[in-house]
Amino acid sequence: MQKKLTIQDIARLAGVSKATASRVLNGNPSVNGELRARVMRVVEEHDFVPNATAVSLAGGNTHLIGVLAPPLVWPALPEIIRGVAEYIEDSAYEIVLYSINFANAECNHSEVVKRILNLHLVSGLLAIFTDELLPQITRLAQDGLPIVLIDDQEEPGHIPWVGIDNRESARTAIRYLLELGHKRIAHIRGPQYYYWANERYRGYCQALQEAGIAPEPELLLQGGFEPLHGRQCAEQLFARERASWPSAIFVANDQMAYGVLEYVEQQGIRVPEDVTIVGFDDNLLSAYTRPPLTTVHQPFSEMGRRATELLLNMIDPQYLAGPKASQQVQASTEFLQLSERDQPVHLQLPTSMVIRASSTQASLSVKT
Amino acid sequence: MQKKLTIQDIARLAGVSKATASRVLNGNPSVNGELRARVMRVVEEHDFVPNATAVSLAGGNTHLIGVLAPPLVWPALPEIIRGVAEYIEDSAYEIVLYSINFANAECNHSEVVKRILNLHLVSGLLAIFTDELLPQITRLAQDGLPIVLIDDQEEPGHIPWVGIDNRESARTAIRYLLELGHKRIAHIRGPQYYYWANERYRGYCQALQEAGIAPEPELLLQGGFEPLHGRQCAEQLFARERASWPSAIFVANDQMAYGVLEYVEQQGIRVPEDVTIVGFDDNLLSAYTRPPLTTVHQPFSEMGRRATELLLNMIDPQYLAGPKASQQVQASTEFLQLSERDQPVHLQLPTSMVIRASSTQASLSVKT
DNA sequence: TTGTATGCGTTATCAC
DNA sequence: GTGATAACGCATACAA
């Protein structure tokens, strides 16, 4: 590999000390205009960029943020990371990807966390869908590592968190169905002990009650995550006599809704004529199911962006990226407001209903 | 952030010099067994891990590999990166993600490349689908940065490359259709100047000729990448009188095949009864289309794994990860064999035909 | 075999 | 304002 220039070389070529060269590179105002120009000329002439490793060691900030996440084949992840990458792109930071496969029981995932902490490689961590790792993440946070969480498996705690209002979003979805005239609305809920699942369930109940409808136990089914779970629940629902069928189903996530769609099509049950289906998440696929799925849109890439913004502000409150200066100030302010009130930072982003053919032929978009 | 222990502290606690402590940590055999044990005890007691930044600066290897890729919403990427991550997981390296959005014309992507080179942050680069950046990547390689390419947009050149045999794979696909008894096989090909598109086209022609069938110009359509392109080509194909319809279509990639499936379903043309569809890539979605798509499976995650293996061996030929020792040796050998013969390293992985309902009701898998 | 001393490329703290 | 010089935490050539 071609030997790279050091700041020493730049200094020599410009006829100054490396201290001065360093000052120029870091925009220190206390440098003579003429000297600054001279150094800058040499720098640009050679496309000089300071060695990242050395900067890290001396400056105490690696300008690296870790992104801890399950494999990217999880539906929402590419979107989230796109947001992260977009924000990082015009910052001075880079992304270190810690992709962790929970399905692989062989390896001890806590080793990964240990690596993150001990290596001191990253100056901050964005933890997405942490699953069983949350306790260790919490410990990292207590040790002082800046961490932002995108994960609504558990109720947000003291770690800065970016997400949505699951309950309110579910309530909006149900109210939409009520406005469509549905009375018998079933709910295939998510896993028992998951915060998001419980919240969406609560929103479902709340909306029904507000409409004077008592939630019927037989219209509530315990699902999970996957298409198969949705399919199984659908089998149960439609195994009964036709009169007791629901006219609409609110499925706790899109993945399960796919299973429902598959099953009802095979059974010749028409959507939305016989039954209306509404999902939650708005995965990229959901626009291409048959029929396309009406669902609650989660602003995944925006979540990634905002979480990154928050994280960079935690790592370095002084930090202002050029093109984003104003936004950064705003975010910083927002962040300070919350943390000054000694409240944990919880950023709740708005969701929106995406109306597709699984509920109607019309195509609208209703903001929450 | 909690003040971390340094190797100095460990040395003091173990009553040795930091040089010895360093030797123990790096498995240098020339250390007395008793001392080694003493140091190790202290190390484990404190969960000590050397500071990554300092190791990099002193050792000249950052143990970071860059992964340059388009946004992860590209269908094959999550799979490829899963392979990379799996291999990296039990290595001493980490992944730096350079996600680059070609669609965003605003920013100058060459800036990203400049960042990669100049910062000297990563010790190697895995470049996936480099699009317009290939010339700059090539320059990086010439400057001595270890680079492995996963990208068959252009014919593989002097940069180590991992991919598949597009021509042979296409040929196999067509032979499969011929065995099924098809005579009128159409081809929706990929973009004009793309290597993979040309190769797959050649494979198509070759297989036909071998069967004594002259490729008919009217059965060849110029497509692109996306579902819409596939759809448009399908429209053309089926706009003609029924007698001139193809009995099978070989679509150059799954994405376009989705568009074809969508169109024929809307037209009431049955698959596979009226027309058989075969794609290429085996994206994750392709098992869930209606009907599920028969296609050529690309071993994306394996490509990620092997590319990473190759890259680590280029960065550090001495490097042998514990659990992978044997494989590593093998890879290293393989790599040396090629490079010693002064041939550019091109690793061609086998593909396989995945038979699904778009071609038949039976479900088989035929290796290429 | 072990310890001492120097270098890695910066930033930051001093004097000047 | 500017230039020596000391960290930063580790690896390693060299001396012992």
Dist. CA B43–CA B36, nearest whole Å:
10
**Do A101 and B86 lie within an 8 Å CB cutoff?**
yes
Per-residue pLDDT at B103: 74
Residue numbers of chain B with a pLDDT score lower than 70: 1-2, 105-108, 117, 318-342, 361-368
Q: What tokens appear for A149 in the block?
A: 């969480």
A301 touches strand C (CB under 7 A): no
Nearest to B97 among A85, A90, A144 (CB): A85
**Do B96 and A99 lie within an 8 Å CB cutoff?**
no
Distance of residue A324 Cα from the nearest chain B Cα, in angstroms: 14
- Mutate: best of B121, B285, B290, partner A, most A CBs <10 A: B121
What are the residue boundaries of the structural domains of chain B, listed by start?
Answer: 1-39, 64-164+300-321+328-350, 166-298
Do B1-39 and B166-298 have matching folds?
Answer: no
Which of strand D's nucleotides are less than 7 A from any protein C-beta? 1-5, 7-13
B19 touches strand C (CB under 7 A): yes
Per-residue pLDDT at B363: 43
B2 vs A: CB within 8 A: yes
Residue of B79, B141, B91 lying closest to B116 (CA atoms): B141
Q: What is the pLDDT of residues B336-367, one digit of tens each?
A: 555 555 678 999 999 999 999 999 854 444 44
**Do B284 and A73 lie within an 8 Å CB cutoff?**
yes
A101 vs B: CB within 8 A: yes
Per-residue pLDDT at A131: 86
Contacts of A90 in chain B (CB under 8 A): 107
- Opening angle at CA B317, ends B83 and B299, nearest 5: 20
A3: exposed, middle or buried (Cβ count in 10 Å: 0-12, 13-18, 19+): exposed
**Do A96 and B94 lie within an 8 Å CB cutoff?**
yes
pTM of the full predicted structure? 0.91
A106 vs B: CB within 8 A: no
Nearest to B118 among A49, A85, A143 (CB): A49
**Do B49 and A290 lie within an 8 Å CB cutoff?**
no
Q: How many Å apart are A47 CA and D5 C1'?
A: 28
Q: How many Å apart are A260 CA and D7 C1'?
A: 63
Per-residue pLDDT at A326: 41
Can you point out the beta strands (E) in B190-303? Answer: 220-222, 248-251, 276-281, 294-297
**Do B120 and A4 lie within an 8 Å CB cutoff?**
yes
Dist. CA B222–CA B229, nearest whole Å:
9
Per-residue pLDDT at B114: 74
A12 touches strand C (CB under 7 A): no
pLDDT per residue, tens digit, chain A (368 aa), is 667 899 999 999 999 999 999 999 999 999 999 999 999 999 999 989 999 999 999 998 999 999 999 999 899 999 999 999 999 988 989 999 999 887 776 666 777 777 776 778 999 999 999 988 999 999 889 988 999 999 999 999 999 999 999 999 999 999 999 999 999 999 999 999 999 999 999 999 999 999 999 999 999 999 999 999 999 999 999 999 999 999 999 999 999 999 999 999 999 999 999 999 999 999 999 998 889 999 999 999 999 999 999 999 999 886 654 444 445 445 555 555 555 556 789 999 999 999 999 998 544 445 45
Can you point out the beta strands (E) in B75-215? Answer: 94-99, 124-128, 147-150, 161-164, 185-189
Distance of residue A141 Cα from the nearest chain B Cα, in angstroms: 9
Q: How many Å apart are B56 CA and D13 C1'?
A: 18
Tell me if the domain spanning B166-298 has CATH number 3.40.50.2300. yes
**Do A53 and B121 lie within an 8 Å CB cutoff?**
yes
Beta-ladder partners of A353: A296, A366
Distance of residue A206 Cα from the nearest chain B Cα, in angstroms: 35
Work out whether the CA dihedral A117, A121, A122, A126 comes out positive or negative.
negative
Q: Return the residue of B nearest to A146 by Cα.
A: B1
Query: In chain A, which residues from 324 to 363 place their CB closer than 7 Å to nucleic acid strand D?
Result: none
CATH node for B64-164+300-321+328-350: 3.40.50.2300
B25 touches strand D (CB under 7 A): yes
Nucleotide with C1' nearest the B19 CA:
C3
**Do A95 and B99 lie within an 8 Å CB cutoff?**
yes
Q: Which of residues 183-242 of A touch B (CB under 8 A)?
A: none
Per-residue pLDDT at B112: 73
Q: How many Å apart are B14 CA and C3 C1'?
A: 14
Dist. CA A175–CA B64, nearest whole Å:
50
Nucleotide with C1' nearest the A19 CA:
D3
Work out whether the CA dihedral A182, A184, A188, A194 comes out positive or negative.
positive
Nucleotide with C1' nearest the B34 CA:
C1
Nearest to B2 among A56, A112, A143 (CB): A143
Contacts of A107 in chain B (CB under 8 A): 89-90
B26 touches strand D (CB under 7 A): yes
B6 vs A: CB within 8 A: no
Contacts of B59 in chain A (CB under 8 A): none
B82 vs A: CB within 8 A: yes
3-state secondary structure chain A: CCCCCCHHHHHHHHCCCHHHHHHHHCCCCCCCHHHHHHHHHHHHHCCCCCCHHHHHHHHCCCCEEEEEECCCCCCCHHHHHHHHHHHHHCCCCEEEEEECCCCCCCCCCHHHHHHHHHHCCCCEEEEECCHHHHHHHHHHHHCCCCEEEECCCCCCCCCCEEEECHHHHHHHHHHHHHHCCCCCEEEEECCCCCHHHHHHHHHHHHHHHHCCCCCCHHHEEECCCCHHHHHHHHHHHHHCCHHHCCCEEEECCHHHHHHHHHHHHHCCCCCCCCCEEEEEECCHHHHCCCCCCEEEECCHHHHHHHHHHHHHHHHCCCCCCCCCHHHHHHHHHHHHHHHHCCCCCEEEECCEEECCCCCCCCCCEEEC
Contacts of A2 in chain B (CB under 8 A): 143-144
A:B CB pairs within 8 Å:
130
B7 touches strand D (CB under 7 A): yes
How many residues does the structure list for chain A? 368
Q: Give the residue nearest to nucleotide D11 (CA to C1').
A: B58
Q: How many Å apart are B60 CA and C7 C1'?
A: 12
Contacts of B51 in chain A (CB under 8 A): 119-120
Q: How many Å apart are B12 CA and D15 C1'?
A: 22
**Do A78 and B97 lie within an 8 Å CB cutoff?**
no
Nearest to B97 among A62, A95, A121 (CB): A95
**Do A71 and B82 lie within an 8 Å CB cutoff?**
yes
Tell me if the domain spanning A1-39 has CATH number 1.10.260.40. yes
